[in-house]
A and B are shown apart, each in its own frame.
Chain A
């Protein structure tokens, strides 16, 4: 059975930085949203958590492409992660979560899983 999801509004177009990333807080935790205006699609969202350090930093990496694949380089240990698939280019066993992203008016929305029972953070 597919987990229930919703399209959560996380920020506006004004919050984006061209050719770079920003971090947002979602139902599913920290997510990095990237805006690459020179390619289509231009919006990408992956987990903000760098799997190699466990720290929330991926939105602060340098974006680019490697052999045509849009990537961000972790600012800590410099591994590259595909913005499309979340796969780590240096270690095929490592990947970060990818979130579908869409532009709704001037709102950026991410498709995130909805918690089964509503829980309140302490």
Chain B
């Protein structure tokens, strides 16, 4: 069977939307589709036209690409205006030839209305509709100082914004007594005028232009009916639109009294083979000058051409939310309270510049319309009430009152029904969004791509995000938990893969379970897992590139690229001789010296190449690395305990040293801190640590999963009156269970909060061995303790590893020029702002 031909005249936003819909529908196979566009460009976003002056190009504004049209098999004729329609022969004419059709779609849009004023066609007079218009305005503006927009409606104010962004002194001349007469009332219009004038745009209302003549100070002069006048270099007419119905008129289709191609509910004209959609169409004696109703017509027609009997256009919401010249303006439904019995609730804050009006039904239960000027904050909520007929709360005024006055009953994304329309441009409901999420979309971008929501006028972007966030949160478990783009696994899963398969290198794991080359997320994570499982030196050749710089160079990088050094001082106990060594080394290398919160000493300002020399000296004096750079055990803080303190009941220093020496070097998902207090006075602040031990008369109480820092958490009491052996065995098990099951960079406090079953579950696993892994955990810990090595000792003894510490491999004497110093309180510190020459 040979295909029929469907011709679309007009390649604007609505025509393009129709093609998107129709080309994906079953009926598309039955037609050859041919499109004629008058402009030389593909369909572009006219709603955001003024962005052209702030840097957007046609490509940015384009709705589709030539490739897309080709892929759909659509025959595209740009820059080829249609000049005639022969209804009897079912044929259209262009300057290039004649084309037969079976179905014809008119999507010819509208043209700007230019008031019939003498002199309105001279040089310096423009309209504001196409990219060509904008190019002409831009060229003229280069030689102009002032510009006037005739028309104070929505498009006129957009045009004024465009003139302003071209650097012109902009004026708006409006025939009516207020700005945006269709959408706003007098109060709202007055506030908008005040705000716009504050921005330097002059507004002239109730002005009827009688003639445009050459000016004296500027290019043109506008004479008004009240004898006043205004001089300007250019004029942009934006006084409304008229349906582009020239072709329809010439071929005798039924038109409205004031123009517009009459269509029925299926968007078909008086000729059953000809259809009209968008701004050229007249439905129910009404022309819609907004994109959303045009899109609805496009969808309706596409459905009707697919013989969908239910397809019907039954009007459209013409609510609008805009930012005009930076001022929020919103208008919803019956903004002028034309419904019989309608009542108003108004809030007007002249101080803050907010005007809000609600129009409610006689019984006060339904929101009919609204006006907002100055702040569109309540818009989304009000629109949902109006569109979905949601019953208003008992105190509806709270919806427009400032929040401080008693809390507006916010209409959360949760309380919207599934039928709630979120994006009216693309007719996307909350239900559609839920479907997209259930079908696998896990973020805002995915939902947008799948549903097209928020890709029309963009007014629903904030609401869409709320709905998506709320729905994703509800489905918590479905949110992507992949470690990064290279591994589709969680840290816990990777841990098991490494352990079970005996994988010993990052490359090996990547080859078997990942893709790509890795990144700064997965490399340190896997490095940590490998260290926990096999405890090989972190500077072994395979592991070097996995480490954060702090681990690689076993010191903490500071802002100027130098490092700080923290030797281990177990339990905070140090001999005078060792203290002297620290002082001597610090003095020799001119290191800034500070006592840390973890009862040790931090030495700042060592260069990369100084690190091994410094560590040679420290190791010779009996120091070990303090792992201040690692995701590993930091310190075990202690009070002085029963040895000296008259209140102490146990040797807290001795226990702290035992614990620190046992767990030092252990690689974990994040850093781990511990403390031991010698009595209940708790001078070591153990309850703010990952593992806190407090002495009792009978032994030790163990607290777990506490935290200080950014999100303090009081540790939970885990077990009481433990002996030394019981204490160590319990900590062994909890630590290993944490290391195996926690997420990347998850401290024990957050791990506990996310652990299903919480504290009780952890007690069962560790104290009652409910999983039967207690011994395995202990054995794993014992292996790690046995294979401990001081990373710095190994590094300084190995010439190959020391090579890593050359600042510039080819210039050992070269100093880093950005490391410059000054002195403060008797010590050296970096110059904060280094100006490089």
B519 touches A30 (CB 8 A): no
A85 proximal to B (CB < 8 A)? no
In chain B, positions 790-813 with a C-beta closer than 8 Å to chain A are 803-804, 806-811
B519 touches A24 (CB 8 A): no
B811 touches A25 (CB 8 A): yes
Interface string of B313-328 (1 = CB under 8 A from A): 0000000000000000
In chain A, positions 42-93 with a C-beta closer than 8 Å to chain B are 49, 53-57, 60-68, 70-71, 73, 75-76, 78, 80
B557 touches A11 (CB 8 A): no
Who on chain B is nearest to A26 by CB?
B810
A-B contact count (CB 8 A): 102
Residues of B within 8 A of A60 (CB): 549, 552-553, 557, 608
B559 proximal to A (CB < 8 A)? yes
Residues of A within 8 A of B807 (CB): 23
Please judge, given known A-B contacts A23-B807, A25-B814, whether A17 and B519 are in contact too, CB under 8 Å. Answer: no
A18 proximal to B (CB < 8 A)? yes
A2 proximal to B (CB < 8 A)? no
B816 proximal to A (CB < 8 A)? yes
B818 touches A62 (CB 8 A): no
A55 touches B559 (CB 8 A): yes
Please judge, given known A-B contacts A10-B810, A20-B545, A63-B545, whether A55 and B818 are in contact too, CB under 8 Å. Answer: yes
Residues of A within 8 A of B608 (CB): 60
Residues of A within 8 A of B507 (CB): 38
Main SS of chain B's interface residues? loop
Interface string of A12-52 (1 = CB under 8 A from B): 00010111101111000110000010110000000001000
- Interface residue tally for chain A (C-beta within 8 Å): 38
Determine the distance from Cα of A29 to Cα of B806 in the docked complex, in whole angstroms.
16
Residues of B within 8 A of A68 (CB): 516
Residues of A within 8 A of B524 (CB): 62
Question: B449 → chain A, closest Cβ, in Å?
Answer: 17
Contact partner, A11, options B541, B809, B818, Cβ 8 Å: B809
B560 proximal to A (CB < 8 A)? yes
Interface string of B503-528 (1 = CB under 8 A from A): 00001000000001111101110000
Residues of A within 8 A of B836 (CB): 54
Contact partner, A38, options B517, B520, B547, B549, Cβ 8 Å: B517
A24 touches B811 (CB 8 A): yes
Contact partner, A56, options B541, B810, B818, Cβ 8 Å: B818
Who on chain A is nearest to B815 by CB?
A25
B208 proximal to A (CB < 8 A)? no
Please judge, given known A-B contacts A23-B808, A25-B814, whether A39 and B517 are in contact too, CB under 8 Å. Answer: yes
Residues of A within 8 A of B199 (CB): none
Quick one: which of B507, B809, B817 has the most chain A CB within 10 A?
B809
Please judge, given known A-B contacts A17-B545, A23-B807, A54-B834, whether A65 and B518 are in contact too, CB under 8 Å. Answer: yes
Determine the distance from Cα of A35 to Cα of B281 in the docked complex, in whole angstroms.
64
Residues of A within 8 A of B808 (CB): 23-25, 30
Residues of B within 8 A of A76 (CB): 557, 559, 561
A63 touches B810 (CB 8 A): no
Determine the distance from Cα of A55 to Cα of B804 in the docked complex, in whole angstroms.
19
A64 touches B809 (CB 8 A): no
B interface, size bucket: 35 or more
Interface string of B526-557 (1 = CB under 8 A from A): 00000000000000010011111110110001
Question: A91 → chain B, closest Cβ, in Å?
Answer: 17
A75 touches B517 (CB 8 A): no
A65 touches B519 (CB 8 A): yes
Who on chain B is nearest to A39 by CB?
B517
Who on chain B is nearest to A49 by CB?
B818
Residues of B within 8 A of A63 (CB): 517, 545
Please judge, given known A-B contacts A11-B810, A25-B811, A54-B836, whether A70 and B517 are in contact too, CB under 8 Å. Answer: yes
B519 touches A66 (CB 8 A): yes
B545 touches A75 (CB 8 A): no
B559 touches A18 (CB 8 A): no
B482 proximal to A (CB < 8 A)? no
A64 touches B523 (CB 8 A): yes
Residues of A within 8 A of B817 (CB): 29
Determine the distance from Cα of A17 to Cα of B522 in the docked complex, in whole angstroms.
19
Quick one: which of B507, B541, B811, B834 has the most chain A CB within 10 A?
B811
Question: A49 → chain B, closest Cβ, in Å?
Answer: 7
A36 touches B549 (CB 8 A): no
Who on chain A is nearest to B549 by CB?
A75
B403 proximal to A (CB < 8 A)? no
Determine the distance from Cα of A38 to Cα of B545 in the docked complex, in whole angstroms.
13
B560 touches A55 (CB 8 A): yes
B544 touches A17 (CB 8 A): yes
Residues of A within 8 A of B814 (CB): 25
Determine the distance from Cα of A11 to Cα of B520 in the docked complex, in whole angstroms.
26
Interface string of B390-425 (1 = CB under 8 A from A): 000000000000000000000000000000000000
Residues of B within 8 A of A54 (CB): 818, 834, 836
Please judge, given known A-B contacts A49-B818, A75-B549, whether A57 and B517 are in contact too, CB under 8 Å. Answer: no
B132 proximal to A (CB < 8 A)? no
Who on chain B is nearest to A65 by CB?
B517
B438 proximal to A (CB < 8 A)? no
Question: A90 → chain B, closest Cβ, in Å?
Answer: 12
Residues of B within 8 A of A80 (CB): 520
B485 proximal to A (CB < 8 A)? yes
Who on chain A is nearest to B557 by CB?
A75
A23 touches B809 (CB 8 A): yes
Contact partner, A57, options B546, B547, B549, B810, Cβ 8 Å: B549
Determine the distance from Cα of A20 to Cα of B75 in the docked complex, in whole angstroms.
53
Residues of B within 8 A of A61 (CB): 520, 549
Question: A42 → chain B, closest Cβ, in Å?
Answer: 11
Question: A71 → chain B, closest Cβ, in Å?
Answer: 7
Residues of B within 8 A of A66 (CB): 485, 519
Contact partner, B520, options A19, A53, A62, A70, Cβ 8 Å: A62
Please judge, given known A-B contacts A54-B834, A75-B549, whether A24 and B520 are in contact too, CB under 8 Å. Answer: no
Question: B810 → chain A, closest Cβ, in Å?
Answer: 5
Question: A109 → chain B, closest Cβ, in Å?
Answer: 12
Question: A110 → chain B, closest Cβ, in Å?
Answer: 11
Determine the distance from Cα of A54 to Cα of B817 in the docked complex, in whole angstroms.
11
Residues of B within 8 A of A11 (CB): 809-810
In chain B, positions 547-604 with a C-beta closer than 8 Å to chain A are 547-550, 552-553, 557, 559-561
A56 touches B561 (CB 8 A): yes
Determine the distance from Cα of A21 to Cα of B807 in the docked complex, in whole angstroms.
12
Please judge, given known A-B contacts A55-B561, A57-B557, A60-B557, whether A15 and B809 are in contact too, CB under 8 Å. Answer: yes
Question: B725 → chain A, closest Cβ, in Å?
Answer: 41
Please judge, given known A-B contacts A17-B544, A17-B545, A25-B811, whether A64 and B818 are in contact too, CB under 8 Å. Answer: no
A71 touches B561 (CB 8 A): no
Residues of B within 8 A of A75 (CB): 548-550, 557
A20 touches B544 (CB 8 A): yes
Question: A36 → chain B, closest Cβ, in Å?
Answer: 7
Determine the distance from Cα of A25 to Cα of B549 in the docked complex, in whole angstroms.
20
A62 touches B523 (CB 8 A): yes
A64 touches B553 (CB 8 A): no
Quick one: which of B507, B545, B608 has the most chain A CB within 10 A?
B545
Residues of A within 8 A of B804 (CB): 17
Residues of B within 8 A of A22 (CB): 806, 809
Question: B597 → chain A, closest Cβ, in Å?
Answer: 22
Residues of A within 8 A of B518 (CB): 64-65
Knowing that A20-B544, A63-B545 are A-B contacts, what are 19 other residue pairs whose CB atoms are under 8 Å apart, sorted by A's residue number? A15-B803, A22-B809, A23-B808, A23-B809, A24-B811, A54-B834, A55-B561, A55-B818, A56-B561, A57-B549, A57-B557, A57-B561, A60-B557, A62-B520, A64-B516, A64-B519, A64-B520, A73-B520, A75-B549
26 A-B pairs (CB sep. < 8 Å):
A17-B545, A19-B517, A20-B544, A23-B809, A24-B811, A30-B808, A38-B507, A38-B517, A55-B818, A56-B561, A57-B549, A57-B557, A60-B608, A61-B520, A61-B549, A62-B545, A62-B548, A62-B549, A64-B486, A64-B516, A64-B523, A66-B519, A75-B549, A76-B557, A76-B559, A80-B520
Q: Which 7 A-B pairs have the closest CB atoms?
A: A64-B519, A19-B545, A75-B549, A73-B520, A55-B561, A25-B811, A62-B520
